[in-house]
Structure 1
Amino acid sequence: MFKGFYTAASGMVAQQRRTELLTNNMANAETPGFKADQSTIRSFPDMLMSAIDKETIPGEEFGAVQTAGVVGSVNAGIYMQEIFANQQQGQLVQTNMATDIALISGNLPVNEAGVQAAVFYRLQQENGEGEVYTRNGNFTLDGAGFLTAADGKYVLSTDGEPIQVQSESFQVSDRGIVSENGAPIAQIDVAIAEDPQAMLQKQQNGYYYAANGEALPAADVTAFTMQQNYMEQSNVDASKTMTDLMTAYRAFEANQKVLSAYDSSMQKAVTEIGRV
């Protein structure tokens, strides 16, 4: 009986976490460059149940010995095993804004496990120490003419320095070379993660940090292209996410009803059967 409590409760916890994940995806459906989170749900290892019995073996030397008869297996519930971001390319939308620069995945390597690499813009953290990575190319210019993310993080060049321009009349080539009046100024740096799930930790606002604290290597020029005046949209499928969200709600409610049924059975066992 108590195993049923644990099984239903674990289902509720897993579906609640899945609901939170899907809700966050929906909230960021319009966030440029946002990558939808996905999850895997697995069951706990099955427990083998057996019945202890006694078997009498002929002969005075042996007598009765205990034996275990196999009854069957019982499942102990489910849990959310892992969460990972779907790095699939989002659709491009034309904005005609010079500071909007879409990062387009190119010839990306695939490791032995079948995981495809991913490329990101390299940004400087607010304190100037360390780096942060993003796919959001919705940049802007601050008061000093530095190319920054929406929250002020500097976009870094291949020299590791912030990129400064004189006005919004600058051009960005498909390889990320920033030029003004025909003269090259800098090249936007692009980092590559060969295994994004293992090498990166996703934080709020669509930013990623290196899991081991070490900076990601620079991406090869064949691994990406850039397109100015365009912006990469989120890859969240709103209709599918809403369907999955309703499925998670229904699963949560089903487990909740099972839990209530177990509670009623336990109450009856205590108040009625125990009294008899």
Structure 2
Amino acid sequence: MLYGLYLSAQGAESQAMRQGVLANNLANVGTNAFKPDIAVFRSYFPYDVAHQEPQRAPDTIDLETGGVALEGTITDFSQGSLKPTGKSTDAALLGDGFYQLKMGNETLLTRDGSFELDADGQLVHAGTGAPVLDPDGSEIVIPPEMIDLQIGDDGQISGVGPNGIVLPISQLAVVVPTRLTELQKRGDGMYSTKLPVAEAPPETRVRQGFVEASNADPMQGTLELIEVSRGFESNVNMMRMQDEMLGRLLQAIPRR
């Protein structure tokens, strides 16, 4: 019976953790280029199944029978829809890839292409002010005399000079990590990786005047949140019921 309490508590804890993941996804439905997390659970096999011998192992209650635990989370990096902004400095990615930003001494990755020019003409991330980098790792600066800024499908930045001629200025760095699973969320839509990055595939396109929306599904997230709430409640009710049964059992034991 005590083990039943343990299993119910384990289930309630797992549902509570999943609830936190879902709540964070729903809170970021309106965040540009947000990628939701998916809770991954591990189920424990009975000890005799896992070890092919029916025996009881001391101090290994997790392995004796059943139960689940949160193994971790994985991020859904699927493409989000593009929404128009009308800003010439905004640039959404269509396809695999990330922009590179300079944050302190680190180079971080993001799919949030909401960019703007600061007072010095530097192209920066609107949310954090982090400078946007070119393929050489240099910060992108737009000369003040350049007007009618254009960003091509390949990330090439150009503008109209004083003589009315379109001139190239710089290019947005668009890269792909070695493994998506190695990316670590750093907040504000940014990611870090310890592995090398490579140039994005040629089919990846940059769309000027757009930003990528979150790919979190609010309807699905709400339904899952209701499911989690019911699962948590069921486990708590089981704990309460087993606690009451244990209390009755103890009261029924004859006392000397």
TM-score, normalised by the number of residues in structure 2 = 0.86
Query: Structure 2: how far apart are the matches of 1:261 and 1:187?
Result: 64
| Cα shift at 1:194 | 4.1
Structure 2 counterpart of 1:174? 153
Q: Which amino acid aligns with 1:14?
A: S
Q: Aligned residue for 1:124? A: 102
Which residue of the other structure, out of 154, 159, 168, is the alignment partner of 2:131?
154
Residue 13 of structure 1 deviates from its aligned partner by 1.1
The alignment status of 1:246 with 2:236, answered yes or no, reads no
Count of residue pairs brought into register by the alignment:
238
Aligned with 1:89: secondary structure?
coil
Structure 2 residue 192 is matched with structure 1 residue 192: no
Does the Cα contact within 8 Å between 1:98 and 1:168 map onto a contact in 2? no
Give, in whole Å, the separation in 2 of the partners of 1:275 and 1:206: 63
Could you report, residue by residue, the CA deviation over 1:19-44 in whole angstroms, capped at 9, with x for unpaired residues? 00000001100001111111222211
CA RMSD, Structure 1 to Structure 2 (Å): 2.1
Whether the 8 Å CA contact 2:132–2:140 is kept in 1: the answer is yes
Which amino acid letter does the alignment assign opposite residue 258 of structure 1?
M
Could you say what secondary structure the match of 1:98 adopts? coil
**SS of residue in 2 equivalent to 1:171:** strand
Residue 75 to residue 133, structure 1, CA distance change in 2 (3 Å): same
CA–CA distance in 2 between the matches of 1:235 and 1:51? 48
Larger radius of gyration: 1
Check the 8 A contact 2:108/2:192 in 1, yes or no. Answer: yes
- Cα deviation, 1:148-199, whole Å, max 9, x if unaligned, reads 11211111001211111136731100000011111111110011024201x2
Residue 209 (1) aligns with residue 216 (2): no
Instruction: Describe the shift of the 1:275–1:143 C-alpha distance in structure 2 as closer, same or farther (beyond 3 A).
Output: farther
- Residue 54 of structure 2 is aligned to residue 46 of structure 1: no
2:73 aligns with 83
> What secondary structure is seen at the aligned counterpart in 1 of 2:97?
strand
Alignment map for 1:1-276 (pairs within 5 Å): 1-48=1-48, 75-105=65-95, 118-125=96-103, 127=104, 129-149=105-125, 150-165=127-142, 166=144, 169-181=148-160, 182-197=166-181, 199-210=182-193, 213-220=194-201, 222-275=202-255
Identity %: 30
Distance in 1, matches of 2:186 and 2:110, equals: 10
5+ residue gaps, structure 2, are: 57-62, 161-165
Cα distance in 2 between the residues matched to 1:142 and 1:170: 15
Residue 229 of structure 1: how far off its partner (Å): 0.5
1:114 aligned residue: none
Normalized against structure 1, the TM-score is what? 0.81
Please say if residues 45 and 64 of structure 2, whose CA atoms lie closer than 8 Å, have aligned partners that are also in contact.
no
3-state SS of the aligned residue for 1:84?
strand
2: CA distance between counterparts of 1:228 and 1:274? 80
- Cα 1:254–1:214 shift into 2, 3 Å: same
State the Cα deviation string for residues 217-268 of structure 1 (Å, max 9, x = none).
Answer: 2223x14110101111000100000000110111001001011111111222
The 2-side partners of 1:134 and 1:256 are apart by 40
User: Any conservation in 1 of the 2:178–2:197 contact (CA below 8 Å)?
Assistant: no
Q: In the superposition, relative to structure 1, how do residues 263 and 170 fare at CA in structure 2: closer, same or farther (>3 Å)?
A: same
Specify the code of the residue in structure 2 equivalent to 1:152: G
